């Protein structure tokens, strides 16, 4: 059962565009929502993360928007660059002690054309 649904599966934008990747979850116990970036041949690396007490978080050109009532969160990449071409994964983890089990979306392959 896919508990975190990610869309789109793939995305192509021109340099300078603003790709948006969306994720939806069902479990209201989730309280930590990271985005990971993965380049070919590498492991995923944390890009940015948010907790549900805020609606938006920015780090450089990357922004997470969070809608708690809709149980949705999205990643926006401002002024996208060819170097941003990678696969992006959203994830979520539930509240509860030392639980560290991340539930992952299936990923979005982003291509930024020069």
Partner 1 sequence: DAGVIQSPRHEVTEMGQEVTLRCKPISGHDYLFWYRQTMMRGLELLIYFNNNVPIDDSGMPEDRFSAKMPNASFSTLKIQPSEPRDSAVYFCASSFKAGNTEAFFGQGTRLTVV
Site residues for partner 1 per CB under 8 A: 32, 34, 41-46, 49, 89, 93, 98, 100-102, 104-107
**Cα–Cα distance between 93 and 78 in angstroms, integer?**
26
* Min CB(79)–partner 1 separation in Å: 25
Smallest separation, CB 67 to partner 1 (Å): 21
Is the Cβ of residue 45 or residue 54 nearer to partner 1 in the bound state? 45
Least distance to partner 1, CB of residue 63, Å: 18
CB of 28 to partner 1, least distance (A): 18
Can you say how many angstroms the Cα of residue 95 is from the centroid of all Cα atoms in its chain?
19
Determine whether 105 is exposed, middle or buried from the number of CB atoms within 10 Å of its CB (0-12, 13-18, 19+). buried
Closer by beta carbon to partner 1, 69 or else 98: 98
What burial letters (b/e) apply to 10-38, b meaning 16+ CB within 10 Å?
A: ebebeeeeebbbbbbbeeeebebbbbbbb
Tokens of residue 36, six digits:
């990971």
Among residues 49 and 111, whose Cβ is nearest to partner 1?
49
Query: Among residues 20 and 102, whose Cβ is nearest to partner 1?
Result: 102
């Amino acid at each position: 059962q896919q508990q975190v649904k990610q869309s789109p599966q793939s995305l192509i934008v021109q340099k300078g565009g603003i790709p948006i990747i969306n994720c939806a979850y069902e479990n209201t116990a989730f309280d930590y929502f990271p985005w990971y970036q993965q380049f070919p041949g590498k492991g995923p690396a944390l890009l940015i993360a948010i907790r549900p007490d805020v609606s938006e978080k920015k780090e450089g050109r990357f922004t997470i928007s969070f809608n708690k009532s809709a149980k949705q969160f999205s990643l926006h990449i401002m002024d996208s660059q060819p170097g941003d071409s990678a696969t992006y994964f959203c994830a979520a983890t539930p509240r509860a002690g030392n639980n560290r089990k991340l539930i992952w979306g299936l990923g979005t392959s982003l291509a930024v054309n020069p």
